[in-house]
Amino acid sequence: MQAIHHSATVFTLVGLLTAVECEALIAEAEAHGFEPAGVRTADGGQKSMAHVRNNERVVFESPHWVDTLWQRVRAADLPALDNEIPAGLPRALRFYKYGPGQRFRMRERGAPSGQGRRGDLIIEVRLVLPKLLDERSKELLREFGRINGEDVRKELAERR
């Protein structure tokens, strides 16, 4: 696993999970079922606000995955955020699914507006995964991973 630091507080952990682990984790999230994601309100509740967030989310507890992720994450060279060292992960895993045109707006986290305030930051993520129509396609991808191993991820990391 390799940590790529993009800034003092932003980093990517390349190779945190294998392709097979990613597939298993995505399958588990899909099995729990995604629902429209709400937005946390001032009273601590959740409210559907499509003008802020219009994606889907699933939250579930999985002690096995939380432990696996934490054991790997804590072995990485993590930066201290606000002078605090990470001490663990939350019990629940949270997955967000975005489709074309779905977004998340972070109020007053965008570029300065020139009036002492900041504009909104609208995040639109586009991640396109191949549609696996049959078991043979899945097996070919697994075989590609076995043949190429971690070198593929390492090469991608070195390009950045």
Does pLDDT of 152 surpass 50? no
Average pLDDT of the chain is 77
pLDDT confidence of residue 146: 79
pLDDT confidence of residue 61: 94
Burial readout 127-141 (b: 16 or more C-beta within 10 A, e: otherwise): eeeeeeeeeeeeeee
Q: Where are the domains of the chain?
A: 2-97
Tens of pLDDT along 75-100?
Answer: 887 777 677 777 888 899 888 887 77
**Of residues 127 and 55, which shows the higher confidence score?**
55
3-class DSSP assignment, residue 39:
strand
* CA dihedral of residues 38, 43, 44, 48 (deg, nearest 10): 0
Does pLDDT of 125 surpass 50? no
Q: 15, 150 in Cβ contact below 8 A?
A: yes
Single-letter residue type at 60: F
Q: What percent of the chain has pLDDT above 70?
A: 74
Tens of pLDDT along 43-62?
Answer: 888 888 877 778 888 999 99
**Of residues 146 and 63, which shows the higher confidence score?**
63
